[in-house]
């Protein structure tokens, strides 16, 4: 039995579309506070405000913009663009991080999911 090239291409394109439709589409990162810092901190999906010398433990959960949610095993990494202003230290559990204001200034927090850079969150250290 011979399969024509156009049928084969149609089957491959359909399979590719199904694969893409079954993957989550990054929308934002949600933070859950796991510790209580001595001063107020603002943690929202597009901005973090923290005082110099202040740290907080958080759980970072990626949220999907389509009907396919992220799984608990999807790897989340957070990286500071400028560790002289703001630092991130991975916790002992998956998706737990210490966010630490080092010195006044602004930088960005890089969000990496499953090895792909998906977002930059503005960080203001006061």
Residue 2 in domain: no
Residue 116 in domain: yes
Residue 76 in domain: yes
Residue 98: its H or E element: strand 96-101
How many Å apart are CA 124 and CA 104, to the nearest integer? 8
Average confidence (pLDDT) over 1-7: 62
How many Å apart are CA 27 and CA 95, to the nearest integer? 17
What is the number of domains present in the chain?
A: 1
Token pair for residue 41? 């901190």
Number of Cβ atoms within 10 Å of the Cβ of 24: 18
- Overall pTM > 0.95: no
Residue 12 in domain: no
- In terms of residues, how long is the chain? 126
Residue 17 in domain: no
Contact 72, 53 (CB under 8 A): no
Average confidence (pLDDT) over 29-35: 96
Contact 100, 55 (CB under 8 A): yes
Q: What's the pLDDT at 2?
A: 65
Residue 114 in domain: yes
How many Å apart are CA 81 and CA 83, to the nearest integer? 7
Q: What is the CATH number of the domain that holds 105?
A: 2.60.40.1080
In this predicted model, what pLDDT tens digit does every residue of 58-115 receive, in sequence order?
999 999 999 999 999 999 999 999 999 999 999 999 999 999 999 999 999 999 999 9
């Amino acid at each position: 039995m011979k399969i024509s090239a156009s049928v084969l291409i149609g089957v491959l394109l359909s399979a590719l579309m199904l694969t893409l439709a079954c993957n989550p589409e990054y929308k934002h990162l949600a933070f859950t506070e796991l510790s209580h810092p001595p001063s107020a901190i603002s943690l929202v999906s597009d901005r973090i405000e923290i005082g110099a010398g202040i740290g907080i433990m958080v759980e970072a959960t990626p949220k999907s913009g389509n009907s396919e949610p992220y799984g608990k095993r999807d790897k989340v990494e957070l990286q500071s663009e400028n560790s002289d202003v703001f630092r991130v230290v991975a916790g002992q559990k998956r998706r737990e991080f210490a966010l630490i204001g080092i010195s006044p200034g602004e930088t960005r927090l890089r969000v990496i999911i499953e090895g792909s850079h998906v977002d930059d969150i503005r960080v203001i250290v006061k």
